[in-house]
Amino acid sequence: MAPMVALPPLVHVTHVEVISEYQLRLTFEDGIVGDVSFTDREWDGVFEPLRDPQRFAHVCVEGGTIVWPNDGLDMAPEPLYQEALKHQVPQAVRMTA
């Protein structure tokens, strides 16, 4: 029998803010706020339209994750949450942002 692999928790995104080019500040339903960078991402395949920073900035929240409705694109919330945990925003910064 194969060992069980721990799956990341499913925590929905409740708010997104574009903080700079290809950088998002995400808020999750459990209160975690973290910055997620897409600066090194290869925008190819279906995500190719997001190479344009202005198109990328049209991100919003739908169905518990980030989406680009004009392009019909979304991203799974689990890896976003894992990345946000690595780059959490201190409470004082959250209040002023």
Tell me the pLDDT tens digit for each residue of 58-73: 999 999 999 999 889 9
The distance of Cα 50 from the centroid of its chain, to the nearest Å, equals 14
Report how far residue 95's alpha carbon sits from residue 37's, in angstroms, rounded to the nearest whole number: 21
Tell me the C-alpha to C-alpha distance, in Å, between residue 53 and each of 27, 66, 83. Answer: 21, 16, 20
Q: What's the pLDDT band for 4 if we cut at 50, 70, 90?
A: low
- Residue 38's pLDDT band, with cuts at 50, 70 and 90, is very high
Kindly report the CATH number that applies to the domain delimited by 13-96: 3.30.2020.10
Write down the residue that tokens 């739908």 correspond to: 62
pLDDT single digits (tens) 81-97: 999 999 999 865 555 55
d(CA 13, CA 80): 9
